[in-house]
């Protein structure tokens, strides 16, 4: 992925987070047998001094008591993507009951979670994703009110049909986002989470002007990286766990088996092959 390439030099381990079991320890804070989340990259085994990583997240962190839920959720709905949805939506968009929230990348780990939090908060929710199968899951199982298939539908007319939007949670950037911004309400809020539509671009794309809607509708647009809320990390995890246990928050994992299939799983995720969180089980 070209956008990330400057952070990953040739010959270095590729970035990634993992759930791991501690098999041997000389650190009493991380006893043998405990399950942790660590940002160790694409590895089968890691030797760690237990200190934080460059990202500033509380890495490695011991997975809190999650009852019978699978440990892999600490990579998704009970981990970094879950907190991205929780803080990125609630802090930046501040959705209120009765408002309309639109989210792109809606069937992914972050997007599917964002739409459900919006529903929990009493909002009308519109999801944008790349297949009708994903749309069916969003509407029939997760309770989204509307779905737009950006690969098939007449995008602008669909965006217009469900408008205006009080909140836009942007996972993809690019032209879809420019279009959505043209259909926001007065004082709408945009949380810029990601720009996956451009991560593999080889040239700097030309952009549609977003200043007009920002100006005339007096929108607020703010980017974030989830590390911003590192001090409140376990607030997010605990709240998401509570919603799962109350049956208000559902999740899906797309699981690939085998370390040797890591690259294929990663490339497939970029092409939209995953629904919910993409996991590789080693």
Ligand X SMILES: NC(=O)C1=CN([C@@H]2O[C@H](COP(=O)(O)OP(=O)(O)OC[C@H]3O[C@@H](n4cnc5c(N)ncnc54)[C@H](OP(=O)(O)O)[C@@H]3O)[C@@H](O)[C@H]2O)C=CC1
> Binds 17, which of ligand X, ligand LG3MXSP7, none (CB < 5 to 8 A, cut-off by type)?
ligand LG3MXSP7
Give the binding range for ligand LG3MXSP7 (CB under 6 A) out of 25-33, 51-59, 117-125, 249-257. Answer: 51-59
Our CB check for ligand LG3MXSP7 shows the closer of 225 and 270 to be: 225
Residue window 254-273: x/- pattern of binding to ligand X, with contact defined by CB under 6 A: ---------------xx-x-
| 110 contributes a contact to ligand X by CB under 6 A | yes
The answer to whether the peptide bond before residue 164 is cis (omega within 30 degrees of 0) is yes
> C-alpha 269: how far from its chain's center?
12
| 226 contributes a contact to ligand LG3MXSP7 by CB under 6 A | yes
Give the binding range for ligand LG3MXSP7 (CB under 6 A) out of 54-62, 98-106, 121-129, 174-182. Answer: 54-62
β-pair partners for 253: 277
Residue window 152-191: x/- pattern of binding to ligand X, with contact defined by CB under 6 A: -------------------xx-------------------
Q: What is the DSSP string of 31-82?
A: -TT-EEEE---S-S-----S---TT-S--SEEPP--TTS-GGGGGTTTSHHH
Q: How far is CA 6 from CA 1, 2, 12, in A?
A: 10, 8, 11
Rg value, the chain, Cα = 19
For ligand LG3MXSP7, the binding residues (CB under 6 A) are: 3-4, 7, 17, 37, 39, 55, 57, 59, 79-80, 194, 225-227
């Amino acid at each position: 992925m070209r956008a990330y390439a400057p952070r990953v030099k040739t010959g270095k381990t590729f970035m990634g987070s993992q759930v791991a079991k501690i098999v041997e320890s000389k650190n009493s804070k991380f006893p043998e047998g405990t399950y942790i989340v660590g940002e160790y990259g694409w590895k089968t085994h890691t030797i760690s001094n237990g200190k934080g990583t460059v990202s500033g997240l509380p890495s490695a962190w011991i997975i809190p008591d999650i009852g019978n839920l699978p440990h892999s959720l600490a990579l998704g709905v009970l981990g970094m993507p879950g907190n991205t949805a929780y803080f990125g939506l609630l802090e930046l968009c501040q959705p209120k009951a009765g408002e309309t929230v639109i989210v792109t990348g809606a069937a992914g780990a972050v997007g599917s979670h964002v739409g459900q939090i919006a529903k929990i908060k009493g909002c009308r929710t519109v999801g944008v994703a790349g297949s009708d199968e994903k749309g069916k899951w969003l509407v029939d199982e997760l309770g989204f009110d509307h779905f737009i298939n950006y690969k098939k539908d007449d995008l602008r007319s669909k965006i217009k049909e469900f408008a205006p939007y009080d909140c836009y949670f942007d996972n993809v950037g690019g032209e879809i986002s420019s279009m959505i911004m043209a259909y926001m309400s007065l004082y709408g809020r945009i949380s810029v989470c990601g720009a996956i539509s451009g991560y593999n671009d080889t040239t700097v794309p030309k952009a549609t002007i977003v200043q007009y809607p920002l100006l005339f509708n007096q929108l607020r647009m703010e980017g974030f990286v989830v590390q911003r809320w590192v001090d409140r990390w376990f607030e997010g995890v605990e709240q998401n766990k509570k919603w799962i246990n109350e049956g208000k928050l559902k999740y899906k994992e797309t699981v690939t088996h085998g370390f040797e299939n890591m690259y294929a799983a990663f490339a497939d995720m970029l092409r939209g092959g995953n629904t919910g969180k993409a996991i590789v089980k080693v």
